[in-house]
Structure 1
Amino acid sequence: MTMSSRQMRFHFDWVDHWVEEESAEKSAKDIMHRSAGRMMSIQNFFNDLSLYRWLKKSTKGKVELARVVVFHSDSFVFGLQAVYRVYYSSSSEIREVAAEKHVYASGFYAQGRPPMVSTLELAAGEFIIDVTTRQGEVVDQITFITNQRTVRFGGWGGMAQPYQSNHFARGVMSRVVAFAGTKAGALERVGFFLEPLNWEAIRPIVLTRRLVEEKRALPDRVNCEKWTPQETSVHDFLTRANDDIFFRVASYLIYSTRGEATNQPNQHRS
């Protein structure tokens, strides 16, 4: 599939999927049905992408995750709730809008006890770049990886998510904007949508080059004899590359490359 501005990444059940942006919600629903191996009613899955899109369209401003509330025990994850921070373009107003609580705690997994509630508070400038899980029949543990830290909730049962070669490529250039998932007595599987960071991804590079060009900053070559070849290449790119090459590379950096799926759905259920 060719990368285009009309596609977005949906990660579900340890597999990355590229979906058409206009039909992302339907595509995600189909992917979740296939992963579960059954047709599900609306009560058996959730998808917050529609809320995220509505907030962006109605406010015409910046929309970002402010926090994620996680419902869990010491052994399992029962669900989550996303809370968005909305910046209105028509004013300086900032509001928080909570998505629906997606909590599924019943039967064996709940063990007759209410779930614990934990919150991942995202500081200013902090965003989620990846979400990993331990899972068997349901999600045993969920891990949020932000651009600043790693936070885990739940237990240590199930299988750990295999390493994916595109993990860092996805994280560096994209951020999580919405969650989706399925239920089966607990949170069965969790998925998330990612959007490229665009200007946020290349801002430090562009501003550094501009400052050097305006002689408001000087290239720092202290201990340059100890630089790795990669560090030397980055330095030369920022200070010497012609404008055409610079803007071509900067444009490429806006998007993360498509990674190969290392596993197929339904292969990780114990």
Structure 2
Amino acid sequence: MFTPQERDRVREQLLRAAEADPAITAAAITGSHAVGAADRWSDIDLAFAVDGGLDAALERWTELVHRDFSALHHWDLRSGAAVYRVFLLPGRLEVDLAFVPAAEFGPHGPSWRTVFGEAGRTAPAVPPTPDHLTGLAWHHALHARVCIERQRWWQAHYWIGAVRDQVIALACLRLGHPADYAKGAHLLPDEVTAPLAATLVRSLAEPELRRALTAVSSALAAELQLTDPALAARLQPVLEPHGPDPRSDG
């Protein structure tokens, strides 16, 4: 496992390389390090403003990280015009490098600290809406039930967990915590999280899958009751384990 000292040394080397790259006009530290919330296990998050096309910069930096830091693998996550190239280094150190067109370089939230160059004003990130999360939740619940009927045990397990993820996101949104990737889950009170323990699937036996689906459907109904009782009432017949038979080819 990497040490904080090793991580900090890698981050400083990357920032020095960015300053030496004529195509990089600005750089910022993002994530937990930008707001003083990093801990022993935090990874490296940097954003680079790129003058010109991103492809050449991505190719050049990928070669640099593999050569100078012995990267084991990398993959891309795209968001608008930006490309987040995610590297895995020895010692389980993750390095997330965001390559952004210079005209669009700037913070989308509080986790940002400009190191050099200038950052423009950008629109803040739009959080998910309760309606969207609710739609995902009932969709996943229907598919979990269909998979059980089809005896697709692993797929049913997947969808049950996906419903739980949306319940957590809805609770985080309601209480003002980060909703993406369960980042606010540890801040939820016990009265929200304790019932979710029953939603964990303990085996792939059909009775256990049906039990877990009932538990997660009840947790979803309880969460919806707190924010939109009318919607909770409309969805209740669909969420009940012995409610109307869902018809789906998904």
Report the TM-score, using the length of structure 2 for normalisation.
Answer: 0.28
Higher-RCO chain (CA-CA 8 Å, sequence separation at least 6) = 1
Report the TM-score, using the length of structure 1 for normalisation.
Answer: 0.26
Query: Which has the larger helix fraction?
Result: 2
Larger radius of gyration: 2
